[in-house]
Chain A
Amino acid sequence: MKRITFVTILVLVGLIAACAPAASAPAEEAPAAEQPAAEEVAPAAEEAAVPVPPSKKVAWVASNIANEFTTGMAANAESVGAEHGWEVTVFNPDSDLSKQISQLENAGSQGYAAIIFDPVAYDGMTAVVEELTSSYDIPVITLHGSCSAQDLLTAFVAINIQEGGRLKMEQVAKDLNGKGDIAIMTGTEGQTTAIFITDGYYEVLPEYPDINVVFTGAGNWNADDATPLAENWLSSGKNLDAIVCNNDGMALGVRAVLQAAGLTGQIKLYGLDATPEGRKAIRDGSMNASIWVDSHAEFVAAFDIIDAFYAGEPFEKEVMIAPTLVTKDNIDELFPND
């Protein structure tokens, strides 16, 4: 028995050792890379006031990496970071607030030069943001989402997502000539982004009294929950002219249902995010419109702020990026390389 225990421990130690170099390599490289960078920065600006980055690492603490959009965000974080000369580590808290808070705390203590995060929830971040900004002299930036501790942050970069919801509903009204029955499919109930987007819809709806919202349901941002929900709506016997989804991921699930029922085009479909597959759907006419939320532009803004912070230059504390409506008419113009 003792022997087995011994062997097990040995195997475990071996495993950890095997994993360790991969994990610690960036950490070892970091100080080496930091040296010349710090030297470069220091003479450029007035020496004393400018903070020196503790490493060349930047943390991107996502809200989740569960769909095409958030996956694209992580990719943009890495590529834009690399263009700015930073090595980006991506953290994925799986939409779990307490997990995100721990990851933020860890990023602080591990000597990251900057922390960019997309808050899982609007409220509940205050304590950790306070701890990060008071304990470390590094930029702490929220990106995409926002939180109630906005004042404590170094800066925030956001998309006016409510505006996106508004733009989209206006397009729906235009496509329906101001009259028809629609269903609204929201993201996970209670999540801030879902609430803001849907609030945008309802800013527009009072202007069109002949548009009726027949159904509202949560598709939880993903295709596998969106599919049965859309099927149930279709079989309810109620008339539907359009299904408006909070994101493309759900809209693509609905698209499959409409295709199977032979209702593509007959029931108009709307998404949000303009993911690659969503754009394809707009091009082939199976989706009518989406909203392009340019996370690339968000990260460019965020890394510009980080660079300005370490160069001792002034920077904008609030950067708002406007979303763009994507339809068949302007898609080639917006995405010529698809």
Chain B
Amino acid sequence: MQNQEKDQKHNTATEQNEKVPFYKSSQFWKSTGIFWALVILVIIMAISQPAFLTKPNLINILKQASITGILAIGLTLVLLTGGIDLSVGSVLAVACMAAAFLTSDVQGFPVIVGFIAGIGVGAIFGLVNGFGIAYIGFAPFIMTMATLSAARGIALVSTNNRPIFNLSRTFIDVSNSIYFGLPSLVYYFLIVAVLAYILTKKTVFGKWIYAVGGNQIAAKYSGINVEKVKLIIYMIMGSLSGLTGVLMASRITSGNPTVGEGYELDAIAACVIGGVSMSGGAGSVIGTVIGVLILGVISNGFDILGISSNYQRIMKGLVILLAVFIDIRSRSRKNS
């Protein structure tokens, strides 16, 4: 009976959609709510500070959002499977040290070696996380909290807390170049975002990710190798953390073992603001990208306005709650 009602509703909804253009339907406003939140935020910032809407500043926001953005996209995949990865900031630091060490004037390896080492180091941490979670059965929170601590320790021990300077010019150019008017970091972010979008929306593996997060037991009975999916996802996450470590080393022109502290929380915040469910199975890469941009706009706008970073933290907290509140409301309406 209820199903019939639902079907009817669904039918009327689609009928309505045929009659009214999609952009006028309430469904459209609900599903794009977070995008409009970003637009409103941009308008507020633009009014408060005219310099906000200048091209160099907008490019700045994209550039600064890129590193958190890549982490957040990886975390979206992890969260979709119902997991979590707290170790991303620490793994970033280890990769940052590895890449800086190899491309500094002491070692002098070419840029590509820095990339391979950084991403490789990340992938190994991802493998450890994934193995512990999928095959041994550690809770993702516990497993990655352990890696968070251990990886930070490794980064600090690697040079006895000392930063590494004198990276090669070509390596510094990795994050500090501009192509066709956009900083190179933005391209890395875009490429990762597009690949993740295709992976989640256009491939069978993408369907498995949602299935594992939505209902693990059902996924198992339908023949999905749940353990393998999880292992691969944590390895992707680790590799992306490694990639951001390489980019970070180039960006700050040094390897610094304390880099990336707390980045996991920024990345998780971006996912949550973008509508990714912490219990798995719901959310999208596009939502996360918008979430990342919202956080980027807040921190950039407040810096330009000269507002203390302490207020930025308060604001970030409020935005997270507000975003999740909107998400809860729109979900409960859809279900009723």
Mark A residues whose CB is within 8 Å of B: 65-68, 70-71, 74, 189, 214-218, 220, 222-224, 227-229, 231-233, 235-238, 249, 252-253, 255-256, 259-260, 277, 280
Known: A222-B259, A231-B64, A232-B60. A217 touches B306 (CB 8 A): yes
CB < 8 Å neighbour of A235 from B57, B259, B308: B57
Chain A residue numbers with a CB within 8 Å of B144 are none
Known: A222-B256, A235-B54, A236-B51. A227 touches B304 (CB 8 A): no
Tell me the smallest distance from the CB of A237 to a CB of chain B, in Å.
Answer: 4
Do A232 and B303 have beta carbons less than 8 Å apart? yes
Chain B residue numbers with a CB within 8 Å of A253 are 252
Known: A216-B306, A218-B308, A222-B256. A236 touches B57 (CB 8 A): yes
CB < 8 Å neighbour of A236 from B49, B258, B308: B49
Tell me the smallest distance from the CB of A147 to a CB of chain B, in Å.
Answer: 24
Tell me the smallest distance from the CB of B75 to a CB of chain A, in Å.
Answer: 19
User: A231 vs B299: C-alpha distance in the bound complex, in angstroms?
Assistant: 12
Do B162 and A71 have beta carbons less than 8 Å apart? yes
Chain B residue numbers with a CB within 8 Å of A228 are 60, 64, 299-300, 303
User: Interface of chain A, helix or strand or loop or mixed?
Assistant: helix
User: A216 vs B307: C-alpha distance in the bound complex, in angstroms?
Assistant: 8
Chain B residue numbers with a CB within 8 Å of A218 are 308-310
CB < 8 Å neighbour of B51 from A74, A220, A235, A256: A235
Tell me the smallest distance from the CB of A226 to a CB of chain B, in Å.
Answer: 8
B81 is an interface residue with CB less than 8 A from chain A = no
User: A232 vs B305: C-alpha distance in the bound complex, in angstroms?
Assistant: 10
Do B306 and A67 have beta carbons less than 8 Å apart? no
Known: A236-B49, A237-B54. A189 touches B309 (CB 8 A): yes
Do A277 and B252 have beta carbons less than 8 Å apart? no
Do A71 and B160 have beta carbons less than 8 Å apart? yes
User: A217 vs B310: C-alpha distance in the bound complex, in angstroms?
Assistant: 10
How many residue pairs, one in A and one in B, have C-beta atoms under 8 Å apart?
94
Do B304 and A235 have beta carbons less than 8 Å apart? yes
Closest to A228 in B: B64
Do A232 and B161 have beta carbons less than 8 Å apart? no
User: A222 vs B257: C-alpha distance in the bound complex, in angstroms?
Assistant: 11
CB contacts under 8 Å to A, within B255-287, are: 256, 258-260
Closest to B260 in A: A224
B163 is an interface residue with CB less than 8 A from chain A = yes
B197 is an interface residue with CB less than 8 A from chain A = no
Do B308 and A68 have beta carbons less than 8 Å apart? no
Tell me the smallest distance from the CB of A213 to a CB of chain B, in Å.
Answer: 10
A-B contacts, 16 listed (Cβ < 8 Å):
A66-B161, A68-B163, A74-B161, A217-B306, A224-B260, A228-B303, A232-B60, A235-B56, A236-B49, A236-B57, A237-B50, A249-B163, A252-B254, A253-B252, A255-B253, A277-B165
- Apart from A215-B306, A231-B63, A232-B57, 7 more pairs, CB < 8 Å: A189-B310, A224-B259, A236-B51, A236-B304, A249-B163, A255-B253, A256-B172
Known: A232-B303, A232-B304, A277-B165. A256 touches B251 (CB 8 A): yes
B248 is an interface residue with CB less than 8 A from chain A = yes
Closest to A75 in B: B160
Q: List the 9 closest A-B pairs by CB distance, nearest first.
A: A232-B303, A237-B51, A235-B57, A71-B161, A223-B252, A256-B253, A228-B64, A236-B304, A66-B258
Chain B residue numbers with a CB within 8 Å of A235 are 51, 54, 56-57, 60, 304
User: A223 vs B51: C-alpha distance in the bound complex, in angstroms?
Assistant: 25
Chain A residue numbers with a CB within 8 Å of B51 are 235-238
Closest to B308 in A: A189
Chain B residue numbers with a CB within 8 Å of A223 are 163, 252, 254, 256, 259
Chain B residue numbers with a CB within 8 Å of A260 are 176
